[in-house]
Each structure stands twice: as C-alpha cells, then as structure tokens.
Chain A
C-alpha cells in the first residue's frame, strides 16, 4: 500500500486539497482569495458571522452589532468597518431597524418577504443591494457599506453608509489657469464624478464602473457621452480595462500602463488632467475619460500630440491672445527639445553659419573653459535636471536656500571660475524655462529626455546628426497611435476641417465642427448661422433652418 501511495504522489505531486476548515496560517493570499470567492452565505446567522470573522481574522475595525428586529425579535446583525462609514447614516439605519420595525407591527415572518419589506419600507438609505456571495459582501462592506444579515435568510442586505474624510476641493498645483474654473479633482472618485456631473447635465453622460486589481479592488470608471463617443472606441476601452490583470492599481498611471497602445515610447499616449473643465471639453469632442479612485488624475483618450499642447482656457481669452499663447507653447516645446542640440552642432561643426561677430563673442567666452562643449552642455543640463528633481522634493522652507545655491553657486560661480561658458548657461536656462511652458508635464519631461539624445547627435555628427534625429523622431511620432487615432492628427494625416483650432485658436462661434477622428458621430457641434451673423458675408440659405432644429 505504501508503494501505491508513493506512485499516486508521483503522478499528482503538487495538488494540495484544502477546504474551508484548513488553518488560515498555511494559506497564501491567492488561495485565500480563491476561497473567499467560493464561500456563500447560509441561512444561519451565527455561521455567517463566523464566516466573516474567519476571513477578516482578528484584525481591528470590523464591527458586528447584534440586533433584534420587529416585535417578534428576529435576530439579525449589522456588519460594517470602522472609519469607513458615516456615523449618522449608521445611526439612522439602527434607529430604523430597532424602532421603526417595532412600531409598524405587521412585520412578515417569511424570510424572503422580510428582506424585501425591510428594503422597501424600513430603510431610509438611498442605495440598497442584496448579495449572497461572501466576496461581494466584502467588496461592499470594506468600501463603507453596512451589511444587514438576518437569521434564516441566506442573503445579506447592503446599505450605503459610506462616509470618510476627503481632501478639500482646491485649485490644482500642476494645472493652474489664469481664467477659467479653479476647482480640481481630488482623491475620491465619487467627488470627482460629481464635479464632472455638475458640468454636463444630460442623462447621456454615462459612467461604467469597474473593479480593478485583485488585491486593491480599486474602483475605475469609464465616462463618456453616449451617442457621441464612437462605439468602437468604447468597446476597445472596455476590453482593455477588463483585461487588466494586476494585484494593485494605485494611481491612474497603473491603469495607463495597462491600456495604452504602445508602451515602448516615452511620449504620453493618454492625456492626464486634474481639471474637470478639461475632461468636460474632451468628452464633448467624443473622447473617453477614465477615472481612478484614489488619485486626482483623470485619463483622457484618445489623445494627440497637439491636444497636449492645448488647454481649454485658450478659448476663454480672445482668439488672438489664445493663438499667441498657443504659438508660444509650440515654440517652447521645439526650443526645449532642439535648442541645445542646435547650439552644439553649430558652434562645434558649422561656426560659419553664425554671423561673424556673434561667433567671435561666443568663441571669446569659451576661452579658458577646460571641457569640450558637449561635456559642458551635458554637465549643465544634468545639473539643471538634478535641481529640478530636488526642487520637487524639497520642503517649502528650504526653497529659497535652494534657489540661492542654484543661481549663485552653480551659475555665477561656475562661470567666474571658468568651468562653463556663459552661452551654455543661457542655453540651458532657456531650454529649462521653455520646457516648463509646455502645459503637459509628461510631454515636457519627454521633450527634456529627447533633448539629451539631440545633444549627443549634434555633438557627434553636427547638423547632419540633428537631421537624422529629427527623421527618426518624426517616424516614431507618425507611427504612434492612441486608441486608433494617429498621434500627430490633425497635422499628419492632414485634416483640414480640424485645422482651424489647431495651430491658432479661433472664435468660439467658428468652432462649428468636432474633431473628425473622435467626434465623427455628430460632426456639427453648433449652428453655422451664428458665424454668418458675425461675418455678414455668407448668404443665408434655405436649408439652414433645418440645420438648427
């Protein structure tokens, strides 16, 4: 017999059979999760409570309060987690269960009827739900709901008693605006959704919820305007979010990493924002927003390169001002990416391209500098990046000291010691400032990293190297797509109807169409007649009356 057992062991060595009776200490997390999913609630109150206790263990926070419902004193218990509930809501619930059920008197004895009676006539709370699976019960209870478990009923009633401290809704630090709404998203997904819902008051603003992350069970919501966002895009987004298999989703960056099109690019393929007005503008153009619980950053897709350089407030100012600002931004990103590369290429390889006096003055300042120009540039660029990174982490009280060190010690002293030349400092400062003028942080930092590649190319091959770099960069940019939309649209491929809101911004009454690649389902966003009223040159046609209706 022993031999037989051994042979059997040989054929299925790894299979351990575990049952609910197994000691919890020996089970790993995935086994525990599997077990939780299998468990079902039973008719017996005591068994149910011990089941919950078993999986929650001895850890603090889980509160079980036994109560008797109704004049006949049906035994029941409420289960909730301390700190996740609003105590007034819980008090209301308890009052309803303990007092109101007694008052009504005619409480049904049948279990099925009892639970619907409580649900329909007793509980005041807005949201109630019934579950009979243990993991569903935990999903809700751990997110602030209170479960009502009644003796003799295999279903738990979940009552919405959520309530916890959230941050105040304040202005965003990273996306400030001169004109336009100031409020920004916070870490709570419900508050964020309410911020958005306040702005789009039609029932077609649809929110689809997901629970992502096998351990964090983070709430992720996909928000769109039904009938405006393309169904193909929605299906794709639903699929990609549904396929996420991760144990944790801590931030929208985790979601982005799982659902973006090509991970091997340093350019952001989804737009992140903290501002509700930005999300609103994107939704109205047929895009989809992805909200993640626990972070103020909302993802917008599909995003294009040029949309990262735009801001809804471009339209809040007069068009010439908005256009000017936008052109400045385009200039800024070009400058922050290419300026050091061009500088080193021209000074190193093609000095004849500079006007002679300018070149002479540059050469004069470089006299006595011990490093070749590429080393000088790389040192200063790295120093700047270190300063920037340190500045992000610094406590506010040390900030001034930091700027003194940065400006005086590194800038002034390095020049007077003859370690770097002033033109290099100017170039580095210019690129630094320009890179902060890019409204999207991710794009700005991508530009800064690409800049180092261009410094190397310019320093080794001169303008020819820069040209090669531009070719490779353009091929890369042109081959990127964000949820099916080419990254460089509407410039490449050229879409003329989208051009009027592309390089320059234009009057708001002229923006009569949505971007063609995302808002194709309803291309006309407002009547063209208003534009005619202002321009007074286009004749009014018969068909226009129908257009508006």
Chain B
C-alpha cells in the first residue's frame, strides 16, 4: 500500500489544533493550581515543558523516519516488551480522545441541547471523526489546511471582542506570590503534552520526517502563544477569582461580551472553533489509534477496525464518569497532571532507554539516511 503523505505544514497545524483544544475546554493554567492572575506566566512555563516533551516524543521519532512509534518500540524493545509499551501509548489515544469528546459533549448539552442524551452527541462526534479517519491522513491533512485559517480567524475575532471588556488591572499584582503557584498551575498543562504522542504515529507520513521536530516545536509555540493571550484576556475580563471558578473560562468570558446590539454572543464562534479543533483532534486520535492497533497486530489495513474502535471510544467516553462534577475531578492537577505525565514518561523512558542502550552497545538502531533520501525522491 502506498504510504499516505502529509506536508510538514499540515503536521504543524495538527500540533497547534491538538493543543488548542486545551484552550477551549478547561484552560488549565487558570482553573487548576493557584496561579490566578499569573496564569499567563504558567502558560509560558507550560510552553517550556511542552517543548521539552516535543523533543522527547518527536525527537525519538525523527531517528526512524519510516516507522511509527509502535514499530519503533518493537524495534527497540523487542516484540513482547515493545508491544506492551505501545499498548500504553494506544491506551492514551483511546482515553484522551474519549475525555476530550466528553468535555465537549457536556458543554453542548449543558449550554444548548439540554434534552439530548449524552450518547448521541458523543456518538455523533466520534462517528464523524471515524469517517474522517477512514478517509485517511491525507484527507485529515487537507481538512486541517482548510480549518486552520478559520480557526485563527475565530481566535482573532474573539480576542478582538474580548478587548472591549478587558480590564487589565485584573492582572495585577504580577507574580506577587512568587513562582510556586505559577509552577503548580503549569504542571497540569504540561501533562497535556501526552496529546502530542499522536505525532509519533504521524512521522512516517511526513514528506520531510527529519524536519518533524522543528514543525512540532513551532506548532507548540503557536499554541502557547494562543494560550497565553487567552489567559491574559480571560483574566482581564472575568477577574482571577471568577475565572478560576468557571468550568469553561474562555467560553464564559466571551459570554460576558456585549459590545453592541449586533456583536453579542460571540461565544458561538468559540463553540464552532472548538468543534472544528475537536473534530480534527478526534480524527487524528482515531486514525493514529487504528493505525497503531493495526500495526501492533500486523493487520493489513486499519480501516475495518475503525468502526468497532469508535464504538469502544464512545462507550468509554459515556461511561468513564457518571456526571460532569465527577468528571471534573479527573482534571484536578494531582490527578490529570500525574496521569498525563505518566502516559508520556513511562513509554518514552523505556523507548529512549532502549535507543541509548542500543546506541551504546553499538547496534546502530537508526535507519540509514541514504536509503531514506533515495526513497524521498
């Protein structure tokens, strides 16, 4: 089968969009930890952490430009251990995606379709994403090309309208309580880099896989930029305390905007933007999950297992917690922070360990460069 190719630009967009869903949903720099008005500083710190993890995740992948992380782990750790490690990665796709769609569904049901059963919203989103994953990563890449400008435009419009109500006095005092609370708040956001493990699956699909680290890094930078601006504006509009207490702070702050008769309810834009980015994130998760499972069990094609996997996804999403309050408990920093970091660190410690071990013992684990270059042509 021909390997589907996406451009590094599309890879960058996917990185941005995966991380941007964080901004839409809980805005963890503000709602977790104790940073309050210094949430922007946590955002910057989180960027440093995410950039580190980008290097951990994608940095290993670029040594194997034609292997996904599942294949890499079997190469480095052997079939059995490698399989087990990649199972954790695949589990992370499953669980993170189901959490992500659950938050969105809760927002839709809480805010708009109050009578609709949860399983419908979750199921519909997942089925649509399965359709996109079925079409392949090239199609997802083109979707991203189409949605990314719209997403940026929506961000710009919402930032612009937030400026009308922003009281920047809310941001003071700056770093009054030292760096401790700032660090605490950034911890949870850094754990979101577990989302970026999909990038390890996508590296063999890139047109220039050796440049993947740079693309992912710039993607993370753009996402961090959006995160910091959102944090600043949300705090400026809502004030640190109300921002901390609200469930969806960005959404909540836009709801407070009423510039004129006509420019009200701009949160509609955010809901659409969130829907777009969730859709892209979900289809990437499902695509990577399907591909990963197919590679793990040596299936020829990943497409036939997408639909059953989608059903599992939806079931997990609906049944993972009974209601929104318990669900939010998962996002407390000592739960999600630890969980997310575990999901990244556990497999990648083994993978890097295996890589370095092989390097030191002289069994060159890397793929030949020359070979790959001729393939690129």
- Chain A residues packing against B (C-beta within 8 Å): 349-350, 352-353, 355, 461-464, 467-468, 471-472, 474-475, 478-479, 486, 488, 491-494
Contacts and interface: CB of A to CB of B under 8 A. Distances in A.
Contact of B139 (A349, A463, A479): A479
B113 interface: yes
A494 B261 contact: no
Contacts of B142: 478, 486, 488, 492-493
A475 B113 contact: no
B272 interface: yes
Contacts of B9: 494
Given A467-B275, A468-B128, A474-B147, 9 more contacts: A350-B112, A353-B265, A355-B264, A464-B113, A464-B116, A475-B139, A478-B143, A491-B146, A492-B142
A491 B145 contact: yes
Contact of B268 (A353, A479, A492): A353
Given A493-B10, A493-B141, A475 B264 contact: no
A513 B246 CA distance: 52
B108 interface: yes
Interface of B: 7, 9-10, 108, 112-113, 116, 121, 124-125, 128, 131-132, 135-136, 139, 141-147, 261-262, 264-265, 268, 271-272, 275, 279
Nearest to A355: B261
A478 B135 contact: yes
A471 B113 contact: no
Task: Tell me whether chain B's interface is mostly helix, strand or loop, or mixed.
Answer: helix
10 contacts: A349-B112, A355-B261, A462-B112, A471-B275, A474-B146, A474-B147, A475-B131, A488-B146, A492-B146, A494-B145
A468 B128 CA distance: 7
A464 B143 contact: no
Nearest to B283: A475
A472 B143 contact: no
Contacts of A464: 108, 112-113, 116, 121, 124
B112 A468 contact: no
A352 B142 CA distance: 34
Nearest to B128: A471
Contacts of A486: 142
Contacts of B265: 352-353
Nearest to B268: A353
B145 A475 contact: no
A463 B265 CA distance: 14
A494 B13 CA distance: 12
A491 B149 CA distance: 10
Contacts of A468: 124-125, 128
Nearest to B264: A355
A450 to B, nearest CB: 16
A492 B121 CA distance: 28
A474 B128 CA distance: 11
B145 A471 contact: no
B262 A478 contact: no
What 10 A-B pairs come out closest when comparing CB atoms? A492-B142, A492-B145, A478-B142, A479-B135, A492-B146, A494-B145, A478-B139, A479-B139, A471-B128, A475-B132
Contacts of A463: 112, 268, 271
B172 to A, nearest CB: 35
A471 B264 CA distance: 26
The interface centre, meaning the residue of A349, A353, A491, A494 with most chain B CB atoms within 10 A of its CB, is: A494
Contacts of A355: 261-262, 264
Given A355-B264, A493-B10, A475 B112 contact: no
Contacts of B124: 461, 464, 468
A415 B125 CA distance: 39
Contacts of A491: 145-146
A492 B271 CA distance: 23
A479 B147 CA distance: 15
A486 to B, nearest CB: 6
B67 to A, nearest CB: 24
Nearest to B10: A493
A50 B10 CA distance: 71
Contacts of A461: 113, 116, 124
Contacts of B146: 474, 478, 488, 491-492
